[in-house]
Amino acid sequence: MRERPGTTALLEHILGAEVAHKLEQRIDRRIDRSGLKEHKTLEAFDFDFQPKLDKSLVLELARLDFVRRHDDVVITGDPGTGKSHLLKAFGLRACEQGIRLRYARCVDLLDDLHAGLADGSYPRRFKSWATAELLIIDDVGLGQVKKHGDEPTAAHTLYNLIDRRHTRASTAVTSNIALSDWGKYLGDATLTAAILDRLAMHALRIDIDGPSFRQHVAHERAAGRGAKQTEPARAPRRDADGG
């Protein structure tokens, strides 16, 4: 008995939906394990708001060929200019492509490794950060770097990680401060120079020279609220019969 074409199409549809569902579940698990909390996309990035940004370079990086080449990415610029948005979008695409991602703000990454020194889990934690195919370190210069007692400096901790990953895996970084200020921020100018030397060797640089999108949105909201407060009261509605 020959199977009807309609039945075959239905089976193909069901199997295709099941495969798509399993793929979506795998992507969701990668995102959960990565530490990426916000799901930013390049489609939602307002390139018109940052006209000095090289859109073609951003779209090229979004293909993630730099990850396969083990190159690094460093994005600098003032707060609110879209640095984190871009790297989070790259991170989301990495998860979609099956690339092992780890994401953290710089202060949170350092806190995690220092916690490992305190409870004996440092080797496991360090390996998790060191072996990711793409490591995103967000917001260098934002937040206070903590140091307790005999703990190594932030520069020492970050140097060990960057040195381990150097030429073996890609690291992408955003910085809210000038690279020349990293030494003061991380607590050791010499080790910081070694970190930057390794990052610069195979790094693709983007500097976003533009206004803060967050401030722009805040001003628009404030202007909207002001317009509502100054809007003249409407005259009472009169019935059709004039009463």
Helix H or strand E segment including 76: strand 72-77
* Domain with 103 in it: 66-217
Tokens of residue 69, six digits: 């080449």
Which pLDDT score, from 0 to 100, does residue 24 have? 80
pLDDT digits (tens, 9 = 90+) for 86-137: 999 999 999 999 999 999 999 999 999 999 999 999 999 999 999 999 999 9
How far apart, in whole angstroms, are the C-alpha atoms of residue 175 and residue 156? 18
Which pLDDT score, from 0 to 100, does residue 184 have? 95
Helix H or strand E segment including 154: helix 154-165
For residue 136, list its beta bridge partners.
103, 172
The dihedrals phi and psi of 142, each to the nearest 5 degrees, come to: -110, 120
- This prediction's pTM: 0.82
Q: Is residue 12 part of a domain?
A: no
Where does residue 21 rank: exposed (0-12), middle (13-18), buried (19+ CB within 10 A)? exposed
Which pLDDT score, from 0 to 100, does residue 1 have? 45
pLDDT digits (tens, 9 = 90+) for 171-229: 999 999 999 999 999 999 999 999 999 998 889 999 999 888 777 777 677 766 665 66
The rounded radius of gyration (Å) of the Cα atoms in the chain is: 24
Report the relative pairing of strands 203-208 and 101-105 from DSSP bridges: unpaired
Tokens of residue 231, six digits: 């809007």
How far apart, in whole angstroms, are the C-alpha atoms of residue 196 and residue 186? 12
Q: Is residue 35 part of a domain?
A: no
**More confidently predicted of 6 and 155:** 155
- Mean pLDDT throughout 3-28? 69
Q: Is residue 222 part of a domain?
A: no
pLDDT digits (tens, 9 = 90+) for 47-57: 999 999 999 99
Where does residue 34 rank: exposed (0-12), middle (13-18), buried (19+ CB within 10 A)? buried
Task: Domain count for the chain, please give it.
Answer: 1
How far apart, in whole angstroms, are the C-alpha atoms of residue 57 and residue 66? 12
Q: Is residue 51 part of a domain?
A: no
Q: Is residue 71 part of a domain?
A: yes
On average, the pLDDT of the chain sits at: 87
Q: Is residue 9 part of a domain?
A: no
What is the CATH number for 160? Answer: 3.40.50.300
Which pLDDT score, from 0 to 100, does residue 68 have? 95
Which pLDDT score, from 0 to 100, does residue 234 have? 52
Which pLDDT score, from 0 to 100, does residue 238 have? 41
Which pLDDT score, from 0 to 100, does residue 98 have? 95
In this structure, which amino acid lies at residue 106?
C
**More confidently predicted of 15 and 75:** 75
Which pLDDT score, from 0 to 100, does residue 242 have? 37
